[in-house]
Amino acid sequence: MNTPSVCEPPGSQAYWPAWVAGPLLGIVLLLTFILTGHGLGATGFTTRVTAWLGGEVAPRWTLANDYLGPMIEDGSVLSSWITWEVLGVFAGAFFSARLARRMAWRIEGAATSGTVGRLLKALAAAFWQASARAFPPGAPAASGCRAPRCWVSRASSS
């Protein structure tokens, strides 16, 4: 196994090697599909939460919306399988991090930009993203996703 880096909390356990964790994750995802008939898709959860919030804040508009309306007609956001799946993923990640002693308050990327610099970059990128719909350079400006595929998929969805 790998040794923890200097950026990780003291006493934390090392990450599993990719050749072990990758196949195990693949098996878990395959079992999820076999047992539930669905793959792991976290965006379905956020869409359901958006529909639920829309139903609470602006029920007539949400019901009239062709995409969100049917989701709140189906009932509670808790009635959807994806809600329970995503809540299980969050719970599993939390307990895994606790067992490996990786739970710590830290700001990722602060080692290269400094704490204040990293927070200012993240805030600027959030405003940049919000002000210009799907503007590709926002994530790399905040030291986030730097992969060009992130830019292409985000820009092509607008």
Token pair in block for residue 58: 């602006």
26-43 confidence digits (pLDDT tens): 898 888 788 877 777 667
Token pair in block for residue 2: 């790998």
- Residue spans per domain, the chain: 18-99, 113-156
129-157 confidence digits (pLDDT tens): 766 555 455 555 555 554 554 444 444 44
What pLDDT score was predicted for residue 91?
Answer: 92
Distance (Å, rounded) from C-alpha 154 to C-alpha 145? 11
DSSP for residue 79: G
Half-sphere exposure of 56 (CA within 13 A, CB side): 7
Query: 3 versus 68: which is more confidently predicted?
Result: 68
